Amino acid sequence: MLLLPDYRVRQRDLLLEISRAMTAQLDLSEVLRLVLKASVLMLAGHVVGLIALRDSSTEHYRIRATINIDSSKLPELEKHVAELVTGASKGLEFQHLEENLREMAAVIDQGLKQLFPMPLAIAGEPVGLLLVFRDYVGNTTPNDIQILQSFADQAAIAVHNALLYENMDRERKRLDAFVKYSADGVMILDADLRILRFNRALERMTGWRAEDAQARDQDAVIVWSRLEQGDLRQALSEGWPFRPAQGSTPETLYVEGDILRLDGMTLSIGITYGPLFTSDGRIANIIANVRDITNFRRAQEMQNVFISSVSHELKTPVALIKGYAGTLRREDAHWDHNVIRDSLAVIEEEADRLTELIENLLAASKLQAERMRLNMSDVMLDELANRAVERFSTQTQRHHFKLSFPPQFPVIHGDEERLRRVFDNLLSNAIKYSPDGGTIEVGGQADDQSVTVFIRDEGVGISESEQEHIFDRFYRVDGTLSRKTQGTGLGLYLAKGIIEAHNGTLNVKSKPGEGSTFFFTLPQ
């Protein structure tokens, strides 16, 4: 009889030790393991147990830890846990709940005789459920019940803390992943503008490695070669950020310009700074979102060039039309038939030029807004190319045209009017960008599945860096020749759009000084 009190004392001491370990532990898996270990120590004999935790978003209970239970039985046990929780929430009699628990015991092991359900709750809010079974029926004293309840309360606190830590750790990892893999640069500064975090996108933009940038002053890494808008330090000296009223959003600061990369190159960026405050209103951190705006600026420049080009393209034919029309209607002059005919021919040509320009603008607008609608029919590309060459051969004396199509070139299904525009745009470019003349060859080849048509010139050629952009809307190859030639930067953009609407591809091969070959492939 003297052994029992000693056993109880050792059991309580060990239970107290484990309870302390539980409350000090923040790893959820380890806390659940300790809870189940303590459950085994409290009950003698063969003991099995499980812990089901409540998902606060779905209200469902999921088994998160077990001891001495075959994992293959977990799906069936989870169904019983759901029935048990549903029954308890509906206020069913304990007799009904006990029957459910006995069914669970039978699923685990037919030899289990006694069960101990222990709800885990904090301030009346359910956290989970601890179920322990053993293989014999023992006497349970009020003192034992008190110990079990005390243990359940300790376990609930430990599990609750571990869940909070797990959620915080998950959110921290999500934030880290967002910062790390964001396409925009992300930089976190302290109140003194020292860099605390520096993501991969910002490494690519600045040329700095994150480990080298951290702990440095922001101005040592973000070096402005040209500052166009905003200034962080000046804004701070003028009182930014003004702490917002409770519930409102802090004021952000936008800074834009060109930075000097570590390798000496420049990059156009825009930075949005957002403040984080401490509870007493001081700046804790400044979050900087950095965006590469190089392409945006290029698009703006292209659009400006386009507007300038269109203005020029419109003014020239309008001026000619007005000039010739005004000349012909002069009452003090009498024109012979040839002068009138030539003047009217110029007016007609310039009107056609205006019409083509307007059609290109409308087509470009439609191409950007929606997929191009095609009027499909049988098209003979070799014949279409032949007619295009005939039209353009009258416009130049310096170029020789050559057709290189094999006999019986396949007929394809396409929009003949749209494909005519592709030939016109490509031939027009070939003439413009080979000012010294030479041969312009138009040809094709075919296989069982597709046809390929090429337009080859002996002109100035296109550099590799330019080839990446020549099919962009409004883009014109940079150079003295481009500035002298007419155009809006829409021809190749439209040609590519038309070919892609036919499920084809349009590409270019070129080297500066060696001419260019544009070729498109269409399915048969």
| Helices and strands counted in the chain (H then E) | 16, 17
Helix (H/G/I), strand (E/B), else coil: 333: coil
The residues of the chain that CATH labels 3.30.450.40 are: 3-174
- Nearest to 265, CA basis, from 214, 208, 217, 218: 208
- Nearest to 284, CA basis, from 186, 189, 220, 208: 189
**CATH number for the domain running over 299-369:** 1.10.287.130
| 373 CB neighbour count, 10 Å cutoff | 10
| 349 CB neighbour count, 10 Å cutoff | 13
The residues of the chain that CATH labels 3.30.450.20 are: 183-292
- Per-residue pLDDT for the chain (524 aa), expressed as one digit of tens each? 334 455 566 556 656 766 676 667 778 888 888 888 877 777 766 788 999 998 877 888 999 999 989 999 999 999 989 888 888 777 666 666 788 888 889 999 888 888 888 888 888 888 888 888 888 887 777 777 777 777 788 888 888 888 888 888 888 888 788 888 888 999 999 999 999 999 999 999 999 999 999 999 999 999 999 999 999 999 998 888 875 555 555 688 999 999 999 998 999 999 999 999 888 888 899 999 999 998 888 777 766 666 666 666 677 788 888 888 888 888 887 888 888 888 888 888 788 778 877 777 776 666 654 566 788 999 999 999 999 999 888 778 889 999 999 998 999 999 998 899 899 889 988 998 898 889 999 999 999 899 999 999 999 998 888 887 888 766 666 554 444 455 566 788 888 888 998 999 999 999 898 899 999 999 98
Q: List Cα–Cα distances, 193 to 115, 467, 475, in angstroms.
A: 61, 42, 40
- Nearest to 305, CA basis, from 107, 95, 489, 121: 489
Structural contact between residues 37 and 18, judged by C-beta atoms closer than 8 angstroms: yes
Does the domain made of 183-292 have the CATH classification 3.40.50.720?
no
> Backbone phi, then psi, for 264, in 5-degree steps?
95, -15
- Nearest to 523, CA basis, from 499, 507, 498: 499
The residues of the chain that CATH labels 3.30.565.10 are: 377-523
Task: Determine the longest span between alpha carbons in the chain, in angstroms.
Answer: 141
CATH number for 377-523: choose from 3.90.1280.10, 3.40.50.300, 3.20.20.70, 3.30.565.10: 3.30.565.10
Rounded-to-integer distance, Cα 521 and Cα 410, Å: 13
Rounded-to-integer distance, Cα 85 and Cα 76, Å: 15
For domain 3-174, the CATH architecture is 2-Layer Sandwich (3.30)
